[in-house]
Amino acid sequence: MEAAGSISLEDMVGVVGHCIEIDAVEGPINVTAPNAVTNREFTRALGHSVSRPTLCPIPGFALRAVLGEVAHTLLASVRLDPSKLIGTGFRFHHPTLDEALA
The reply to whether 71 falls in a domain is yes
Distance CA 86, CA 40 (A): 26
pLDDT at 37: 81
The reply to whether 2 falls in a domain is no
Query: For every one of its 102 residues, what pLDDT tens digit does the chain have, with 9 covering 90 and above?
Result: 344 457 899 999 999 999 999 998 999 999 888 888 877 788 888 888 888 888 777 788 888 898 888 888 777 777 788 999 999 999 999 998 888 888
pLDDT at 3: 44
The reply to whether 4 falls in a domain is no
The reply to whether 3 falls in a domain is no
Q: Structural domain tally of the chain? A: 1
The reply to whether 24 falls in a domain is yes
- Which ranges of the chain would DSSP assign to H, the alpha helix? 9-21, 39-49, 60-67, 71-75, 83-87, 97-101
The reply to whether 23 falls in a domain is yes
The reply to whether 1 falls in a domain is no
pLDDT at 5: 57
The reply to whether 30 falls in a domain is yes
Domain residues for the domain of 78 are 9-101
